[in-house]
A and B are shown apart, each in its own frame.
Chain A
Amino acid sequence: MADTGVTQLKRDGYFSAIDYWLLIPVLAVTMIGLYVLNKVLSTGFEDYPLNFYKQVGAVLIGLVLAMIIGRLELPTLRLIGFSVYGMSIVLLGLVLVDGFSMADTWGADSWLKLPVVGTFQPSELAKIGLAMVTADIFESINFKRVSALTGTGMMIATYAVPIGLIMLQPDFGTTMVIVFMFICTLFVFGIKWRYVLLGLSTAVIAIPLAWIFYFSDYQKNRILTFLYPGHDPDASYNLLQAQAAIASGGLSGSTREYPIHVPVKWSDFIYTAVSEHMGFIGTTALVALIFFFLIRSLFIASQIQPHRPAAAYMVVGLTSSLAFHYIENLGMCVGLMPITGIPLPFVSLGGTSMVVNFIGLGVMLNIAIERNLMRR
């Protein structure tokens, strides 16, 4: 019998098995992020350069964690998945308790204050936990370990708790990420094309109909405001500014003396800063790296699928979660998507978010190593 997992890793060397096609694009994206963030933070932030150092620290911690997770065996990984899921449920509950007095009309209060860690959003963890736990359930259904009905029940139960807690905050952005994650996983799981078409056509027909006939203007406004906090039907100021900032970048960065004002440039609108400081060259590199990374991880998932469907679903879940962030964030900066407060993974300012994203990357690396070892 061939050596397995860690045994083989010990023999061949961990670093020879790492999937550099996956790791290097992410590191490059992180580097671009740090470069731009340094520029943005250095103008007008009181705690600069401390906040930048914190970000660099988060990247390093995240990288180490990703490397450690990458070395684990799949059963351990599964255990981690369940732990992360459980932990996220507890923390999501805590947000409601802790933030009870703050939950109000001022928008989602999804932040938790923890000692040492600082402020962070448990919903970040919930995405990873869900991706890992549901992958298991999908596989069980796949292998008929459980009946389709039981599996569906399990699936609903698994999703209901965190989604319920997140909706209580309420954080619609994260809910949409999770729904997207579920749809993508369901799609690769092999839901029949006719169901896909049915679902799509129902949505295409029902939503405009409801929009036109069912909802009043007032309700539409309320829904839009709920979906996108800060929504204003005739307000496009942020978008105008974001587009102006992107345009000012030109081929290789803005030559303007002063940057164009864009709200939350260090987080939600950091893509505009990338354009301002690096221009067409920078944004092209960033977009290419990001989508190469996403497609590469889907490719890895496709190859591991016949051996370990759960691992594949895990990768798909994690990838689609990241993809949603990237598409929504980049899309809103160029006017393709409505404006919501969603950060750019591996780029935006935010230490815990960076670490959590690297944990997700660690899981993907682990599975990629597994796939690479199989190819030998």
Chain B
Amino acid sequence: MAYDLRKDSYYTFDHDTGKGKIYQDDQKGVVAQTKRVLASRYAVLSIIFAIVGSLIFYNTAALQLNASTAVGMIESSGIPRQQTVRAPRGDIVDTNGIPLAYSQTIPVLYLTYAGLEDDELNAMLLDLAELLNRYDIKWTSKLTNYLDWSHETCSHEPVTDISDLNALVCGEPQFMKDAEAIDYWQTDKYQLGLFAAQAGQTSTFKNDLVKPTANDVFEYLLYNRFQIEDPEKPRQYTDAEAFQIMKLRYTLMINNWLFKNGTPLEIARNVDPEVINFINEQNYRFRGVISGQDSTRVYTDEAVLASHVLGYTGRITSSQYEELKPLGYAPDAMVGQAGIEQIAERYLAGQDGVKPYNIWTVAGEAGTFFSEAIGKDPEPGYDVRLTLDLSLQKVAQTVLASTIAEIRAKVSKANKGDADSGAVVMLDVRTGAVLAMASYPYYNPNDFIQQATDKEAAKRVEANLLDGKTKPMLNRAIQEIYAPGSTFKPATSIAALETGVITPFSNTIRCVGTQAIANWTWHCLEYPTSGHGDLSLTRGLATSCNMYFYTLGNRTGIDAIDKYAGLLGLGNLTGIDLPNEAKGYRSSKETKTLLRSNPADQLWYPADTCQSAIGQFDNSFTVIQLATYAASLATGNKVTPHLIDTISTPDGVIIKDNDDLIPVKLPISAASLEAVRAGMIAVANDPEGTATSAFRNFPIKVAAKTGTAETGFEDFSSSNGLFICYAPADNPQVAIAQIVEKGAWGSNTIGIAKALLSEYFDVEDNAVAVVVPIDSAVTPATTPITPATTTAPTTQTAPITE
């Protein structure tokens, strides 16, 4: 029984309006109800809806259930075009897995040839330019390197809102380069390709003669080259709009051949996904505009401190392309150009993929959409884990820089305050794993990646490449060779001990201050008149007395010194996994012959042996050699220094592991090594030691050797400061070698090693007091006071190192 709602309803029901009369309570039953419904407008509407629903059902079913439609629709021919999808490069991580270099996928907009020409193309390009401007997407054209709009005559402030075209382009066109560059630009057949005007010819926008003013070039491009406007008709675009079109047309023009053959040209990168969606949805409007991905290298902020180790990637060079082409490299591939990036290129680089792309072309070419899922997916590169410890690397690079700055600041007689560069290497003596490797000055590898789009970065890259004085691109740890100075003395000692000139128990030599040895008069640097007196090997190393080693070297002979220095790895390639390692030179009769062209200079004098024994003369080694040398002194083994720990696939399967680089035992007796180690321990612990003051109260027992190597340019610059060490002395774990060019004293540099050891051994007090008033370790190159009886080797400065 229905009830009456009317009384308490908000709506009052009026019987007289008639509408309510259709409903009658007593009319029950299906037939009556159906009749009532059919008589009503509702029924009519329902029937209309039902018909429409049936139509939709029918149309859907016709598509679904007709096999031929389905097949025909899906398999109909389309436009077979494809683009390369660049594979992401593998990551480079430090020994703890902290990322140093990774790949970032960035969305890129490309323009492909879709059959559009002239007016249609121009309209579409303007549409596109406006879209990009609206979303603040930076896009560049090479045209603006030559031709742009001057803002000198503008009345308004410089605009930041690039979506306002008319504010962006005001004033008048002007050339952006000097006359010569503009003339070349106009006549170069790969650019504008105009002809110089002959006598009697006048340049107008209608002909292909070189244009005198920027405005003429603008009009030529506007009316003639790109046919943006018809000179006979009123203008359809403003200058600002026309210039947007011009910029894009210029990009197409200089890549015309590639473009017409289906190569997508990059227009903008880092494009908002929203814009990409918009363009994809309106692909009939932005004909030929496709989106794609590019993968770009990113180095973390901290990785900048390991720039020389990591290297950087850059556009493949023609010689690299010839070599890598068979491996499927594209002519515009990005390949490693230095460091690990270069050496591990074949692992880091993945395999580029090929994907079909889809464009909406003019009538007749409409076809099937090629799913992006078909085609070949790019295969990402393998990941490289380094032995480098980022925390140590940070200390190495920052303390190296700060130490150089400190040395510059304390000018003295021997220190001209010109220290400007240096390098440090820290090895694990047990495996040869490089824990830190720094070279100063360094560079930012990101600049090399960004130089194409970032003008500031390009400037920095150029400055780095052109800087011939400090050479920031040079990895001084492996690519530069230095006279080792006194750090060579342990090698001389080993040679003397192994050949039996001295023994671990009988090795006293007297230093009397000034003495003739090997037909040359030499002076003790510290006590030229009184001398050190009787020196044992230990004390000789601790005080680094040159007189001791002149005598020792003279007795041992250059051939034995050469042999044992070579065994300890000096002057030999270490085999580190970095490109362009320098070999250096060991002083020897052969080397002297090799390095000098004049036969008179090739004769070997006994004084040369004395020079060589203290690490001067032809001796010149890399810092990495000095580091492996220190490691060999520490363990008696020869290690292969290496930076790559493991290489693994993206799934984590290790395909290369450098754990199999097993140290080789050296043919040097334990007793000899012990005797030299005692000397090196004394260097850092004995009151007379040249590094003792720096390591006073240092909780770890260190064995070390300082070195100050003359470069032969002492009149203009300071000597190089070197330092090698290993620690802990009684159970060696790490070895360090370092140099500060023009650092004046070897002991000046100790702070770097001390900071590294503090970090490695977790020593609390990191403050390093490098206050050494007198450094006895200085070794003069050739400063004879009185000429001896034989011909003085006056040309014998360190010839290699500068």
Contact: A247 with B55, CB < 8 Å?
no
Q: How long is the Cα–Cα vector from A249 to B37 in the complex, in angstroms?
A: 38
* B46 interface residue per 8 A CB criterion: yes
A307 cross-chain contacts in B, Cβ below 8 A: 5-6, 13, 20, 23
Complex CA gap A229/B5 in Å reads: 48
Return the CB mask of B46-76 against A: 1 if under 8 Å, else 0.
Answer: 1001101101110111011111011001100
Cβ–Cβ contact B23 & A308, under 8 A? no
Q: Is A323 an interface residue (CB 8 A)?
A: yes
A187 to B57, CA, bound (A): 26
Residues of A within 8 A of B319 (CB): none
Query: B residues within 8 A CB of A331?
Result: 52, 55-56
Cβ contact within 8 Å between A280 and B281: no
Nearest chain B CB to A41 CB, angstrom units: 15
Cβ–Cβ contact B60 & A258, under 8 A: no
* Interface SS, A side: helix
Residues in B neighbouring A257, C-beta threshold 8 A: 373
Q: Is the CB of A234 within 8 A of B281?
A: no
Distance A107 CA – B43 CA, assembled complex (angstroms) = 38
Give chain B residues whose Cβ lies under 8 Å from the Cβ of A306: 19-23
In whole angstroms, what is the CA distance A263 to B283 when docked?
10
- Residues of chain B in range 270-300 having any CB-CB distance to chain A below 8 Å: 278, 280-285
| Contact, CB under 8 Å: B60 / A374 | no
Closest to A8 in B: B3
Q: Does A250 contact B (CB under 8 A)?
A: yes
Taking residues whose C-beta sits less than 8 angstroms from the other chain, chain A's interface range is 35 or more
B40 is an interface residue with CB less than 8 A from chain A: yes
Q: Do residues A302 and B73 form an inter-chain contact, with CB atoms below 8 A?
A: no
User: Of the candidates A1, A187, A237, A299, which one forms a contact with B37 in the assembled complex, judged by CB atoms under 8 Å apart?
Assistant: A299
**A244 at interface (Cβ–Cβ under 8 A)?**
yes
| CB contact list, A248-276 vs B, under 8 A | 248-251, 256-261, 263-264, 275
The answer to whether A2 and B20 touch across the interface, beta carbons within 8 angstroms, is no
A244 CA to B284 CA in the complex, in Å?
A: 18
Report whether B10 and A248 are in contact in the complex, using a CB–CB cutoff of 8 Å. no
The answer to whether B64 touches A251 (Cβ under 8 A) is yes
Q: Tell whether, in the assembled complex, residue A246 and residue B63 are in contact, meaning their CB atoms are under 8 Å apart.
A: yes
Q: Does B49 contact A188, Cβ atoms closer than 8 Å?
A: no
The chain A residue with its CB closest to the CB of B24 is A306
B73 touches A240 (CB 8 A): yes
Contact B50 A247 (CB under 8 A): no
User: Which of A259, A284, A334, A370 has the most CB atoms of chain B within a 10 A radius of its CB?
Assistant: A334
Q: Is B413 among interface residues, defined by CB-CB distance under 8 A?
A: no
Expressed in whole angstroms, the Cα–Cα distance for A157 and B10 within the complex equals 23
> B60 to A334, Cβ gap below 8 A?
yes
**Residues A295 and B14 in contact, CB atoms below 8 Å apart:** no
Q: Are B65 and A251 touching (Cβ within 8 A)? A: yes
Question: B283 — nearest CB in chain A belongs to which residue?
Answer: A237
B160 to chain A, nearest CB (A): 15
* CB–CB B42/A298 < 8 A: yes
Select from chain A the residue with minimum beta-carbon distance to B10: A75
Does A11 have its Cβ within 8 Å of any Cβ on chain B?
no
A352 contacts chain B at the CB level, 8 A cutoff: no
A125 interfacial contact with B, CB 8 Å: no
Q: Is A121 engaged at the interface, CB distance under 8 Å to the other chain?
A: no
Residue among A4, A232, A244, A261 making CB contact with B372, cutoff 8 Å: A261
Contact with B14, one of A1, A143, A244, A263 (Cβ below 8 angstroms): A143
**Chain A CB within 8 A of B505 CB:** no
Q: Which of A32-40, A52-60, A61-69, A286-294 contacts B (4 or more CB under 8 A)?
A: A286-294
Cβ-defined contact, A246 with B64, below 8 A: yes
Q: A334, B366: Cβ atoms under 8 Å? A: no
A-B contact count (CB 8 A): 196
Q: Does B786 contact A (CB under 8 A)?
A: no
Chain A residues near B13 (CB-CB < 8 A): 143, 307-308
Determine the residue in chain A with the shortest Cβ distance to B1: A376
* Distance between B100 CB and nearest chain A CB, rounded to angstroms: 26
Interface residue A98 (Cβ < 8 Å from any Cβ of B): no
B598, CB-defined interface residue at 8 Å:
no
Q: List CB contacts (< 8 Å) of A158-213 with chain B.
A: 184, 187-188, 190
Interface string of A222-251 (1 = CB under 8 A from B): 000000001010111100110110111111
Contacts of A142 in B (CB 8 A): 17, 19
Query: Shortest Cβ distance from A44 into chain B, in angstroms?
Result: 9
Flag whether A50 is at the interface (Cβ < 8 A): no
Residues of B within 8 A of A137 (CB): none
Bound-state CA distance A240–B14 (Å) is: 55
User: Which residues of chain A have C-beta atoms less than 8 A from B522's C-beta?
Assistant: none
Min CB distance A52 to B, Å, is 18
Chain A: minimal CB distance from B79 (Å):
12
Q: Which of chain B's residues have a CB closer than 8 A to the CB of A1? A: 3, 7
CA distance A248 to B374 in the complex (A): 17
Tell me if A305 is interfacial: C-beta within 8 Å of chain B.
Answer: yes
Residues in chain B near residue A184, CB distance under 8 A: 45
Q: Complex formed: what's the CA distance from A320 to B48 in Å?
A: 12
| CB proximity of A94 to chain B, nearest CB, Å | 22
Q: CA separation between A305 and B282, bound complex, in Å?
A: 46
Q: A250-B64, A280-B64 are known contacts. Are A330 and B56 too (CB-CB below 8 A)? A: yes
> B469 to nearest A CB, angstroms?
49
Chain B contacts for A258, CB-based, 8 A: 371, 373-374
Do the beta carbons of A4 and B5 come within 8 Å of each other? Answer: yes
Could you tell me the distance between the alpha carbons of A258 and B368 in the complex, rounded to whole angstroms? 14
Determine if A338 is an interface residue (Cβ-Cβ < 8 Å). Answer: no
Let me know if A240 and B366 touch, CB within 8 A: yes
Min distance, Cβ B334 to any Cβ of chain A, angstroms: 25
Indicate whether A310 reaches chain B with its CB closer than 8 angstroms: yes
Cβ contact within 8 Å between B20 and A275? no
* Distance from A249 Cβ to chain B, minimum over Cβ atoms (Å): 5
Chain A residues in 8 Å Cβ range of B45? 184, 187-188, 298, 316, 320
**Interface residue B153 (Cβ < 8 Å from any Cβ of A):** no
Q: A247 touching B74 by the CB < 8 A rule?
A: yes
Q: Using Cβ atoms and an 8 Å threshold, which residues of chain B touch A374? A: 2-3, 5
Q: Which residue of A lies closest to B43 (CB)?
A: A302
Q: Least Cβ distance of A288 to chain B in Å?
A: 8
Instruction: Quote the shortest CB–CB distance from A132 to chain B (angstroms).
Output: 13
Report which of A144, A234, A275 forms a contact with B17, defined as CB distance below 8 A: A144
With a cutoff of 8 Å between Cβ atoms, the chain B residues found around residue A336 in the complex are 55-56, 59
Q: Could you give, for residues 582-596 of chain B, a 1 whenever the CB lies within 8 Å of some chain A CB and a 0 otherwise?
A: 000000000000000
Give the distance in Å from the alpha carbon of A230 to the alpha carbon of B127 in the complex.
13
Q: Which of A74, A241, A301, A335 contacts B10 (CB 8 A)?
A: A74
The answer to whether the Cβ of B12 comes within 8 Å of any Cβ in the partner chain is yes
Contact A261 B369, beta carbon cutoff 8 Å: yes
Q: Is the CB of B50 within 8 A of A295?
A: yes
Interface flag for A104 (CB, 8 Å): yes
Chain B residues in 8 Å Cβ range of A348: none
Q: Report chain B residues within 8 Å CB of A78.
A: 10
Kindly list chain A residues whose C-beta atoms are within 8 Å of the C-beta of B22.
305-306
What are 29 inter-chain pairs, A to B, with CB distance below 8 A?
A: A4-B5, A5-B5, A74-B11, A75-B10, A142-B19, A143-B17, A144-B14, A144-B17, A188-B42, A188-B45, A190-B41, A230-B281, A246-B60, A258-B373, A263-B280, A264-B281, A280-B60, A291-B53, A295-B50, A305-B42, A306-B21, A307-B13, A308-B5, A308-B11, A310-B11, A316-B45, A327-B52, A331-B52, A336-B55
Given contacts A188-B41, A248-B70, 4 further A-B contacts (CB under 8 A): A143-B17, A244-B368, A291-B53, A334-B63
| Chain A interface (Cβ < 8 Å from any Cβ of B) | 1-5, 74-75, 78, 104, 106, 139, 142-144, 184, 187-188, 190, 230, 232, 234-237, 240-241, 243-244, 246-251, 256-261, 263-264, 275, 279-280, 283-284, 287-288, 290-291, 294-295, 298-299, 301-303, 305-310, 316, 320, 323, 327, 330-331, 333-336, 370, 374-376
Counting from the closest, the 4 A-B pairs by CB-CB distance are A306-B23, A2-B3, A291-B53, A302-B42
